[in-house]
Amino acid sequence: MFVCSRCGSSYNARHVGVEHCPRCRLRDKVDAPLAFKAFDLSGMKVTPLKAADRTDNPGPGVSAGT
């Protein structure tokens, strides 16, 4: 993601070749550089996975005890 250093508008990866913010250039006639900003994953909620209980049924194609 690319973010304008002046107005804060963001652009996705398809604007990789663009060096200056299109909004600032069109609206205010100012060349404001775009800066790369990595995705912030700190707000994501992650649910841990639980391992399946394999003591009773080992699954198809697995012979138990041989």
Question: Domain locations in the chain?
Answer: 2-36
Looking at residue 28, its pLDDT comes to: 92
Q: Name the amino acid, one letter, at 35.
A: A
pTM for this predicted structure: 0.51
Helices (H) then strands (E): counts for the chain: 1, 3
Mean pLDDT across the stretch 56-63? 61
Predicted confidence band of residue 63 (pLDDT cuts 50, 70, 90): low
Q: Within 10 A of 22 (CB to CB), how many other CB atoms are there?
A: 14
10-52 pLDDT, tens digit per residue, is 888 775 677 889 899 999 999 999 888 876 666 667 777 777 6
Distance CA 8, CA 20 (A): 12
With the C-alpha atoms ordered 35, 19, 2, 29, is the resulting torsion angle positive or negative? positive
What would the two tokens of residue 55 be?
């003591």
